[in-house]
């Protein structure tokens, strides 16, 4: 690669005493509070962001417990009433020989939610404790968690659709159980936890570690500490061409 | 102290990566290309020809399909002479037991309310641009909200949920797919297209370039 280590050379808005809009990407001087273009409130490094992450994370985890203990579906047939939890339903599917479906259910409703909790906790702890590690990998992990988060709602929708379809008087009726609500809440809270996380802090913590000033930076918000001496910023490199664009020469 | 570019005029040429806070000088790619943040690989600019028109047109198509899909039968089930047809509304309202009513409301909000609200907000913000009129009051805020609501619009997840539910039921009954299902499937496709067309940078540039609003109303409000 001809591009020399761009990720270590990048200059952040914080270092320049500027603040960037997280919605429309416009740059403002540090004292501006609300983006003049789109109206988004401009947060510098919000120390409370991590507290919000942990708050949503905790109630998400709490809601996930009843989601597993209570029945997700209540099936009434001619032969009686049957209540099945998430894991119970999967075990039953396996007994009927549908191993593939049982595996998918376990993967989607148990493994993915737990992995999401673990990933968010890891990202938040890595920022708080200043763990060493590749920022780009963490960023990709964060984007994955944000992408997958909403898809967990599928379990709730499947319950709704199954229950609304299978309403056949005495032969069979399926009704949602209390776990459906708990599961939906757990998914929503986890999404909120992921969205409260400020991905810029991943890069801050790693950059601070490299500069050996992790502890001192935590409290000062948009401090100009360690700012580069040159005001000349690197251009946006298009993906294929070399990083120096003709515009930079203006 | 270092000298940072501080005046609005100087800052105009720069863009901040919303994901990692790196500052870059703006360099627009060709149409169809894209510019990513060199540090975190977040896509910053992805211009398309007629992006605003496409966003508005697809949005209006979504609105029509949503209204149609709401009330037409979605799925029908037949088992030993018994029969039940279900519209999207039925599917959402199934949670309407006393303690599950909130779930019912949130399902409706996620699959119908929020997608519709997004279309409304986007059209409100962007239609004046197409007509070469000034942006309506609150138009910018409307677009920001439409974008903020994107992850909470779950129509495509619902449609996949239908697929999974069908696989589960199909052994025990004959399930027929109603017209609303196809409308919803088309809607999901359009939503995905729309999300790829929506480049925040391009749209904010269009909003910036719109002729300034005449501030008649503001003037009248001034204290006497």
pLDDT tens-digit readout, B134-157: 888 888 899 999 988 988 988 888
Chain B hits for A160, Cβ within 8 Å: 91-92, 94-95, 107, 161
Confirm whether the ipTM is greater than 0.90.
Answer: no
> Do the Cβ atoms of B22 and A11 come closer than 8 Å?
yes
Q: Which residue is associated with the tokens 């740059």?
A: A27
Chain B hits for A184, Cβ within 8 Å: 103, 106
Please list, residue by residue across A197-232, b when 16 or more beta carbons sit within 10 angstroms of its beta carbon and e when fewer do.
bbbbbbbbbbbbeeeeebeebeeeebbeeebeeeee
Considering the entire predicted model, what is its pTM?
A: 0.80
- The shortest CB-CB distance from A171 to any of B16, B75, B82 is to B82
B149-205: per-residue pLDDT in tens?
A: 988 988 888 888 887 777 777 777 777 777 878 887 888 888 888 777 778 888 888
**Nearest Cα to Cα of residue B187 among B75, B62, B63:** B62
| Token duo for residue B220 | 């009248």
Q: Which pLDDT does position A218 carry in this prediction? A: 41
Q: Which pLDDT does position A236 carry in this prediction? A: 46
3-state class (DSSP) for residue A31: coil
Closest-CA distance of chain B to residue A57, Å: 18
Which of A3, A24, A135, A242 has the highest number of chain B CBs within 10 A, making it the mutation to test binding with B?
A24
B85-132: per-residue pLDDT in tens?
A: 777 777 666 665 665 677 778 888 888 899 899 999 999 999 988 888
Q: Residue A181's closest chain B neighbor by CA?
A: B103
For each of chain A's 250 residues, which pLDDT tens digit applies?
Answer: 334 444 446 788 888 888 888 888 888 888 888 888 888 888 766 678 889 999 999 999 999 999 999 998 888 887 788 888 888 888 888 888 778 878 888 888 899 999 999 999 999 999 888 888 888 899 999 999 998 888 888 888 888 888 877 776 667 788 888 898 899 999 999 999 999 998 888 888 888 777 765 444 444 433 343 333 334 444 444 433 333 333 333 3
| Token duo for residue A106 | 């376990």
Q: Which pLDDT does position B96 carry in this prediction? A: 59
Closest-CA distance of chain A to residue B37, Å: 7
Chain A hits for B17, Cβ within 8 Å: 20, 25
Q: Which residue is associated with the tokens 């209390």?
A: A178
| Token duo for residue B222 | 């001034």
B30-84: per-residue pLDDT in tens?
A: 877 888 888 888 888 888 778 888 888 888 888 888 887 777 777 777 776 777 7
The Cβ-side half-sphere exposure at B199, using a 13 Å CA radius, reads: 24
Checking if the pLDDT of B11 tops 90, the result is no
Which residues make Cβ contacts (< 8 Å) with residue B90, sequence separation at least 6? A164, B74
3-state class (DSSP) for residue B16: strand
Confidence of residue B6 (pLDDT cuts 50, 70, 90): low
Which residues make Cβ contacts (< 8 Å) with residue A147, sequence separation at least 6? none
Q: Which pLDDT does position B213 carry in this prediction? A: 62
Binary contact (A40, B144; C-beta < 8 A): yes
- The strand ranges marked E within chain B are 14-16, 23-25, 35-36, 43-45, 75-79, 82-86, 174-177
| Token duo for residue B114 | 């929020």
What CA–CA distance (Å, rounded) separates B199 from B48?
A: 8
Binary contact (B2, A158; C-beta < 8 A): no
Which of A17, A150, A161 has the highest number of chain B CBs within 10 A, making it the mutation to test binding with B?
A161
| Token duo for residue A183 | 């599961």
Packing angle, helices A112-129 and A48-69, rounded to 10: 160
What CA–CA distance (Å, rounded) separates A55 from A189?
A: 9
Closest-CA distance of chain A to residue B116, Å: 18
Binary contact (A181, B102; C-beta < 8 A): yes
Which of A157, A184, A239 has the highest number of chain B CBs within 10 A, making it the mutation to test binding with B?
A157
What CA–CA distance (Å, rounded) separates B89 from B70?
A: 6
What CA–CA distance (Å, rounded) separates B122 from B55?
A: 8
Where is pLDDT greater, at B179 or B8? B179
Chain B hits for A231, Cβ within 8 Å: 2-5
DSSP A48-106: HHHHHHHHHHHHHHHHHHHHHHS-SEEEEETTEEEEE-HHHHHHHHHHTT-HHHHHHHH
The sheet with strand A172-176 has its strands ordered as A80-84, A73-77, A172-176, A167-168
| Token duo for residue A33 | 């509070």
């Amino acid at each position: 690669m001809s591009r020399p280590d761009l990720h270590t050379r990048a200059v952040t808005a914080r270092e320049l005493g500027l603040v960037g809009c997280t919605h429309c990407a416009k740059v403002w001087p540090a004292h501006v509070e609300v983006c003049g273009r789109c109206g988004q409130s401009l947060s510098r490094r919000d120390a409370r962001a991590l507290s919000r992450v942990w708050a949503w994370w905790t109630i998400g985890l709490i809601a996930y417990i009843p989601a597993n203990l209570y029945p997700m579906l209540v099936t009434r047939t001619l032969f009686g009433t049957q209540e099945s939890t998430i894991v119970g339903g999967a075990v039953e599917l396996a007994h009927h020989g549908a191993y593939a479906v049982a595996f998918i259910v376990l993967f989607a409703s148990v493994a993915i939610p737990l992995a999401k909790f673990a990933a968010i906790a890891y990202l938040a702890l890595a920022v708080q404790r200043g763990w060493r590690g590749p920022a780009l990998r963490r960023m990709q992990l964060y984007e994955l968690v944000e992408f997958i988060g909403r898809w967990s709602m599928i379990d709730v929708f499947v319950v709704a659709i199954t229950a609304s379809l299978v309403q056949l008087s005495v032969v069979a009726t399926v009704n949602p159980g209390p776990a459906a609500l708990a599961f939906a809440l757990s998914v929503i809270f986890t999404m909120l936890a992921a969205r409260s996380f400020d991905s810029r802090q991943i890069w801050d913590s790693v950059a601070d570690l490299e500069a050996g000033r992790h502890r001192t930076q935590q409290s000062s918000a948009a401090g100009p500490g360690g700012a580069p001496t040159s005001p000349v910023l690197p251009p946006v490199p298009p993906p294929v061409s070399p990083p120096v664009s003709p515009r930079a020469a203006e | 102290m270092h000298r940072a570019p501080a005046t609005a005029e100087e800052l105009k040429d720069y863009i901040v990566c919303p994901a990692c806070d790196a500052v870059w000088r703006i360099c627009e790619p060709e149409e169809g290309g894209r510019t990513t943040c060199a540090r975190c690989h977040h896509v910053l600019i992805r211009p398309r020809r007629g992006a605003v028109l496409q966003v508005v047109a697809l949005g209006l198509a979504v609105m029509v399909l949503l209204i149609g899909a709401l009330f037409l039968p979605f799925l029908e089930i037949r088992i030993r002479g018994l029969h039940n047809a279900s519209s999207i509304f039925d599917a959402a309202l199934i949670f309407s037991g006393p303690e599950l009513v909130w779930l019912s409301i949130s399902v409706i909000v996620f699959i119908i309310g929020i997608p519709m609200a997004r279309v409304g907000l986007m059209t409100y913000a962007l239609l004046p641009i197409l007509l070469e009129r000034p942006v309506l009051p609150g138009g910018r805020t409307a677009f920001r909200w439409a974008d903020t609501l994107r992850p909470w619009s779950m129509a495509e997840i619902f449609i996949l949920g239908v697929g999974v539910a069908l696989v589960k039921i199909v052994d025990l009954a004959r399930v027929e797919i109603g017209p609303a299902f196809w409308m919803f499937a088309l809607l999901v496709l359009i939503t995905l297209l729309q999300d790829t067309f929506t480049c925040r940078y391009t749209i904010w540039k269009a909003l910036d370039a719109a002729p300034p609003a005449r501030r008649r109303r503001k003037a009248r409000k001034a204290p006497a």
